[in-house]
Amino acid sequence: MAEQSKTVDTALSLLTLLAGGDEPPTAASLARRLGTSRTAVARMLTTLEAHRLARRTDHGWAPGLGLLALASGVEPRLRALARAELEELAERFGETAVLTVREGDEAVAVDQVVGGTGVVQIHYPTGTRHPVAVAASGRALLAENVAAGVVFSEGELEPGVRGVAAPVIGPGGRPVASVALVAPQHRFPPGALVVDAVRDAAARISRGLARPEHRAGHPPPQGDRHAVLPPGR
């Protein structure tokens, strides 16, 4: 392998290790796993930090927010279809609507719309991560929960925060994302209204992804988010 390719390969392996661990790794632990010197890893981390692809934490190193810019083109159709649905949910209930995708064993927020002007607001900025088996937005991404239609959570990520999420189903019949509404427990909207609204939003996005013209990259038609659901959906 040429020296340049070896350097790039090591840098990509380094980014993978940063994104895949439960605890922030140190330069020393990364060097051991990569089989290279701590000095070389430290220089590489400094370079990645300069490009916002890695960041220092109190306990080691973590992925940098600059990775979000690189990831902004991932699933653009999904994000485009979901944006109007998030805006409608946030406006209707005055709370936070979140779009989440799965990456390995983690659920990652890729978009959010914060509704209302209350003193207490819930925020899950793009790039927020948590275990996929935790909270409604994560568990809705698990195939075994698709039949349930919606998933509930309470206080799993933040005390006093309640959420309801529904899976977005891709053309392959498996969940590719989840749509959730989250709010403080004391002002969470009536359950039945939220369940129907979140489930319907996810179903509209799923149907949009299934259309051949959307898979080819064309924008959704105007008014699609208000389409009437077929019986039984």
Q: Is residue 129 part of a domain?
A: yes
- Point out the domain boundary residue: 46, 69, 92: 69
Report the predicted TM-score, pTM, of the whole model to 2 decimal places: 0.62
Question: 164 near 142, Cβ under 8 Å?
Answer: no
- Tokens (6 digits) for 84: 């109007």
pLDDT of residue 68: 61
Q: What are the start-end ranges of the E strands in 45-91?
A: 54-56, 61-63
Q: Which secondary structure element, helix H or strand E, spans residue 164, and what is its range?
A: strand 161-169
Residues 108 and 41 both lie in one domain: no
Residues 59 and 96 both lie in one domain: no
Does residue 162 sit in helix, strand or coil? Answer: strand
Question: 63 near 56, Cβ under 8 Å?
Answer: no
Distance between CA atoms of 134 and 83, rounded to whole angstroms?
24
CA 163 to chain centre: 15
Distance between CA atoms of 54 and 67, rounded to whole angstroms?
8
Residues 118 and 64 both lie in one domain: no
Residues 123 and 152 both lie in one domain: yes
pLDDT of residue 228: 32
- Tokens (6 digits) for 137: 């937005």
Q: Which residue range is the domain that position 31 belongs to? A: 3-69
Question: Backbone phi, then psi, for 162, in 5-degree steps?
Answer: -110, 150
Q: What is the DSSP letter of 188?
A: P
Low-confidence ranges of the chain (pLDDT < 70): 1-5, 20-22, 68-75, 118-120, 212-233
Residues 125 and 146 both lie in one domain: yes
- Point out the domain boundary residue: 42, 69, 96: 69
Residues 23 and 106 both lie in one domain: no
Q: Is residue 232 part of a domain?
A: no
Distance between CA atoms of 30 and 17, rounded to whole angstroms?
8
Distance between CA atoms of 44 and 103, rounded to whole angstroms?
24
pLDDT of residue 9: 82
pLDDT of residue 212: 65
pLDDT of residue 213: 55
**CA torsion, points 31, 32, 37, 38, in degrees to nearest 10?**
50
In terms of residues, how long is the chain?
233
pLDDT of residue 210: 85
Which residue, 162, 114, 159, 158, is CA-closest to 136? 162
Distance between CA atoms of 137 and 179, rounded to whole angstroms?
7
Residues 208 and 167 both lie in one domain: yes
Distance between CA atoms of 109 and 124, rounded to whole angstroms?
7
pLDDT of residue 146: 85
Which residue, 53, 52, 63, is CA-closest to 24? 63
Domain count, the chain: 2
Per-residue pLDDT tens digits for 58-95 = 888 988 877 766 655 546 788 889 999 999 999 999 99
> How do 175-184 and 61-63 pair as beta strands?
unpaired
- Point out the domain boundary residue: 53, 69, 85: 69
For residue 158, give Cα distances in angstroms to 27, 74, 122, 163, 213. 31, 28, 9, 10, 40
